[in-house]
Amino acid sequence: MNFNCIVAQSGGPTAAINASLSGVISACLENNNINTLYGSINGIEGILNDNIVSLYDTFKNQSDLDILKNTPGMFLGSCRFKLSEEDQFKKIFNVFSTHNIKHFFYIGGNDSMDTVLKLSKYAKENNEDVKIIGIPKTVDNDLFGTDHTPGFGSAAKFIATTMLEIAHDTYIYNMKSVTIVEVMGRNAGWLTAATALARNEYNSSPDLIYLPEVPFSTFNFLNDVKRLLKEKNNIIIAVSEGIKDENGKYISASSSAEDQFGHTSLSGTANKLENLVKMAANCKVRSIELSVLQRSAMHNASLTDINESFDVGVFALEAASKGATGKMVTINRPSTSDYNPTIGLVNIEDVANKEKLIPRHWINERGNNVTDEFIEYIRPLIVGEANIKYNNGLPLYMNINHLSKNVI
């Protein structure tokens, strides 16, 4: 009873999403029941548009799989696509049938899990014998049902490293300064909170942390900054791009430029706060956006994250082989004292279209810092350095255009 499998990637990129792909490929290669593993280009769109490649042709040797494991971005390309029409479902299961595909693995975040939910429901209702398994990934760490998400640890490691290096950069001048660092996160503040990891025996920065989970008060913010400027020279502030006022309005959406001209693109959140501080305090103020670097900085990825991401990929095939469908692979933490994660499954209904925020009790009462309990939670996730190979001074990553010649 030989059959084929297919895998796709969706949503925003992370440093770890190709590690999960590498895990799926490795597991399939070792399974004698599987003839081949297909890859769908640009997520579910590849299946809809007959843009499918054979991954066995591309990854014939272990060294290529190791390089893929340590390559940022998404090797199969991405999409942002919500399944809705009956025809789309029919087309997808036709493709599965034509190519004798029995397992579909979808690596993605909340939206991708909606696709897993819909496809597994359709399979059940139509007696289609295809197992549909979701493999989590998102730098945002906002998926329910899992202790944390693959990709988060690497982004957190880069963000914390960069915050520490910004402290080293900032502390050199004997003058007052405020540096505001904007981190990704529209609704969940996990990545911004990760900046707290940069604190150590000599560095107390970030001095303030503002998250989307707590309404942002400009009045309290400026008071926090002015109070701290009396105590020390260099203030470093971490802020989520998605902080909102008590009415739920994005702080970044209320720049003077936008009010009068609609130029939202001119002003990010940190830039908005920079201008506020400049008006309130007589010192050097700088804003920094970590931008896409935080989700693509493979060169500083967490080994823990990369290995776990690989493992959830391997586990996905194991689960499908045992008959699971309509599930997402999870990482669980049985003990809070030791970090010994296990891998499991959760029903996709409990994950799809939901967003996990930082628990309020992991944020201090004033809403400008995180608690020690949060630090204990996040610390193990950034441990270890990924095994990046270098060539001529630059990381050796997988050729992004490698696939074009293998379209089936």
**What spatial distance separates the first Cα and last Cα of the chain, rounded to whole Å?**
22
Residue 141 near a second copy by CB under 8 A: no
Is 263 near a second copy (CB under 8 A)? yes
Q: Which of 228, 257, 343, 357 binds a second copy (CB under 8 A)?
A: 257
Q: Cα separations (Å) of 91 from 49, 100, 329?
A: 9, 14, 26
Single residue of 98, 127, 265, 335 touching a second copy by CB under 8 A: 265
C-alpha 332/C-alpha 195 separation (Å) is 23
234-240: strand order across its sheet: 208-210, 234-240, 177-183, 284-289
Considering only residues 286 through 305, tell me which ones interact with a second copy, judged by CB under 8 A: 286, 288-293, 295-300, 302, 304
**Per CB under 8 A, 27 contacts a second copy:** no
Q: Which of 261, 347, 365, 408 binds a second copy (CB under 8 A)?
A: 261
Cα–Cα distance for residue pair 162/363, rounded to 1 Å: 22
State which of positions 362-401 bind a second copy (CB under 8 A). Answer: 379, 382-385, 390, 392-395, 397, 399-401
Report the alpha-carbon distance of residue 140 to residue 16 in Å, rounded: 13
Q: How far apart are CA 54 and CA 407, in angstroms?
A: 7
Counting contacts by CB under 8 A, is residue 338 touching a second copy? Answer: no
Which token pair is 105?
């693995």
Smallest gap from Cβ 126 to a second copy, in A, equals 29
Shortest reach from residue 318's CB to a second copy, in Å: 27
Nearest distance from C-beta of residue 123 to a second copy, angstroms = 27
Dihedral (CA of 86, 89, 92, 98) sign: negative
Which of these ranges, 86-94, 166-174, 243-251, 339-347, lies near a second copy under the rule CB under 8 A?
Answer: 166-174
Q: Does 7 bind a second copy (CB under 8 A)?
A: no
Window 32-51: residues binding a second copy (CB under 8 A): 42, 45
Answer yes or no whether residue 278 interacts with a second copy by CB under 8 A: yes
Does 309 engage in binding with a second copy (CB under 8 A)?
Answer: no
The verdict on 339 binding a second copy (CB under 8 A) reads: no
CA gap 205, 370 in Å, rounded: 12
Query: What is the sign, positive or negative, of the torsion defined by CA atoms of 348, 349, 354, 360?
Result: negative
Asked if 408 is part of the footprint of a second copy (rule: CB under 8 A), the reply reads: no
> Considering beta carbons, is residue 266 or 407 the nearer one to a second copy?
266
Q: Which of residues 178-197 bind a second copy (CB under 8 A)?
A: 197
As a whole number of angstroms, the distance between CA 355 and CA 187 comes to 8
Which regions of 100-212 does DSSP assign to beta strands (E)? 101-108, 131-136, 177-183, 208-210
Cβ closer to a second copy: 26 or 304?
304
Q: What is the Cα–Cα distance from 264 to 103, expressed in whole angstroms?
A: 44
Under the binding rule (CB under 8 A), the answer on residue 13 touching a second copy is: yes
140 is catalytic: yes
Q: Which of 140, 142, 207, 305 is catalytic?
A: 140
CB of 283 to a second copy, least distance (A): 14
Which residues belong to the active site?
140
